[in-house]
Chains A and B, each alone.
Chain A
């Protein structure tokens, strides 16, 4: 465990030592601020219309869904930028020899790298808590949906990080890792939308929809925490970390 923490701690500090850390922080917070500001004003407009002309006022979960689903798109570029160098760059500069010859197992290395990348993005999310705090200052929102939305976006991000690490472990140039990760994550994002086109057979369509992260996020954005959704993300993360481990181990034999 201490080896995992050592590797994660070093990599986490490395994010802040490079421009990448600052740029990622800046872009994520800036987009989140933009979404928050624009959707909040729309939310207020609808609320005012509802009180003036009657009808159902908008729900908090609708506001959260709008903000976080848009953030999902931004993650398509942010997550690959964070994970692309994890293995690819170290292999190119041959710094990977340090961990290969240290008395640590491959799984410890993978967990360390995952901890660093997921931890770094979690820090950005923590910093973004300033936006919901505004809601509490000027209104009286439900805490539950906000917390489950944050959990959902964190699980999504951790899953994307695991996917990004797997891609980075297979290529030797970080730019390729960025492209392939972004493309893969995009496919995962649109799975739910293209599911009806893949097969009209009910079972297959449902299965493809189940594979898409978006269908599991909806519950969480609505304030609904289910074991099935959390298990989906945990299995997704475990599976891609396992793939990363296999990919790194197999490279020793090529």
Chain B
């Protein structure tokens, strides 16, 4: 549904995007993850036709954005980091205006405005001026604006930025409820958010894609040797010294707080776990536990963007 190949963009001497390529399949929710200034908004702005790329292709539903911008714009709904709201308008007036811009008219327009107001639960504020709404409601109206024409692709730039914890949960729930009906590209620098909403992740740093895949895939791929944790009843430090003799085991560390725990990494899991278990049993250290220390997305992110 979204196809990006070799996208480049410079602002003066700053290289904002450097050869970005990715694909998003129909119906997927894809998280675009990166620190502030990594190039997330620039990529999204190019996809929506707000700015032009210096090189590369950006296709949405088969239409190239610089060649057929109007066809692309009919098929996307965009919620920028700052929702584009006319503060002097009432919510229902504003949504009617956006609907008209998207070519809706008559009964269809009325039905869609009423539908989106109900879907986003903004009926209570529909006759209020947008400028007087709270940030959470403004964000909902922004989302309603992006959804009014029922677009195939929804592009959301940090939709939970600046909201309070309750509002964040509501917006996340709302985005999850849009799964299946829309293909969603969703940017954030909050890792837990991306982890909880998205099927697929793209990590971007300094204008380059550093990794992409499902988050389990990313975690597995990025661990340079999987990390395990071993717990014994006694003599952890002498056991650690013995384990250091095996060249395929590395990063062997005895836990400072709990002196009975040793963590280590291995590149050859099948062989090494047997060896470790044998060392523990033969040396009489008292085997208690051997477990895979799961790697969190945070670690992956820091490792990639450090």
Compute the total of residue contacts between A and B using a CB distance below 8 Å. 67
Q: What mask results when residues 211 to 254 of chain A are scored 1 for a CB within 8 Å of chain B, else 0?
A: 00000000000000000000000000000000000000000111
CB-CB nearest in chain B for A7: B101
> Does B101 contact A99, Cβ atoms closer than 8 Å?
yes
Residue contact A102 to B101, C-beta cutoff 8 Å: yes
Q: Which residues of B contact A200 (CB under 8 A)?
A: none
Across the interface, A94 reaches (CB within 8 A) one of B84, B97, B102, B145, namely B84
Asked if A18 CB lies within 8 Å of chain B CBs, one says yes
* Residue from A10, A14, A100, A103 within 8 A of B50 (CB atoms): A100
Interface size class of B (residues with CB under 8 A): 20 to 34
Asked if B80 and A97 sit within 8 Å, CB to CB, the answer is yes
Interface stretch among B70-78, B209-217, B255-263?
Answer: B70-78
Q: Is B98 an interface residue (CB 8 A)?
A: yes
Beta-carbon contacts under 8 Å, B87-143 to A: 88-89, 97-98, 100-103, 105
| CB proximity of A3 to chain B, nearest CB, Å | 6
The answer on a CB contact under 8 Å between B80 and A14 is no
CA of A96 to CA of B49, assembled, Å: 12
| Cα–Cα, bound, A93→B76 (Å) | 22
Distance A252 CA – B51 CA, assembled complex (angstroms): 4
Is B297's CB within 8 Å of the partner chain A?
no
Question: Contact between A103 and B74 (Cβ–Cβ < 8 Å)?
Answer: yes
Q: Is the CB–CB distance between B102 and A102 below 8 Å?
A: yes
Please tell me if B27 contacts chain A, counting CB pairs below 8 Å: no
Main SS of the interface on chain A?
helix
Report yes or no: A98 in contact with B145, Cβ–Cβ below 8 A.
Answer: yes
Cα-based distance from A98 to B130 in the complex (angstroms) = 15
Q: Is A143 an interface residue (CB 8 A)?
A: no
Residues 41-63 (chain B) with a chain A CB within 8 angstroms = 48-52
| CB–CB A103/B86 < 8 A | no
**B50 contacts A6, C-beta separation under 8 Å:** no
A52 at interface, CB cutoff 8 A? no
Q: In the complex, which residue of chain B has the Cβ closest to the Cβ of A95?
A: B84
> Is residue A104 contacting chain B, with contact meaning CB distance below 8 A?
yes
Interface residues on A, range: 20 to 34
The answer to whether A18 and B88 touch across the interface, beta carbons within 8 angstroms, is yes
Task: Indicate which residue in A98, A104, A254 contacts B84 across the interface (CB closer than 8 Å).
Answer: A98
Tell me whether A14 and B88 are in contact in the complex, defined as CB-CB below 8 angstroms, given that A94-B80, A99-B101 are known contacts: yes
The reply on A2 being an interface residue by CB < 8 A is yes
In the complex, which residue of chain B has the Cβ closest to the Cβ of A102? B101
A140 lies within 8 A of chain B by Cβ? no
| Contact yes or no, A96 B84, CB < 8 A | yes
- The residues of A that contact B70 with a CB separation of less than 8 Å are 103-105
Assembly CA distance A101 to B11 (angstroms): 21
Residue among A3, A94, A95, A97 facing the most chain B CB atoms (10 A cut-off):
A97
The verdict on A1 contacting chain B, using a C-beta distance below 8 Å, is no
What is the bound-complex CA distance between A215 and B306, given in angstroms? Answer: 67
Task: Give min CB distance, B274 to chain A, whole Å.
Answer: 58
Q: Does A126 sit at the interface, judged by CB under 8 A?
A: no
With A97-B50, A253-B52 known as contacts, the answer to whether A103 contacts B73 (CB < 8 A) is: yes
The 4 A-B residue pairs with the shortest CB-CB distance, nearest first, are: A98-B84, A103-B73, A102-B101, A17-B88
Q: A97-B80, A101-B73, A102-B102 are in contact. List 8 more A-B contacts (CB 8 A).
A: A6-B101, A14-B88, A14-B89, A17-B88, A18-B88, A97-B84, A101-B50, A103-B103
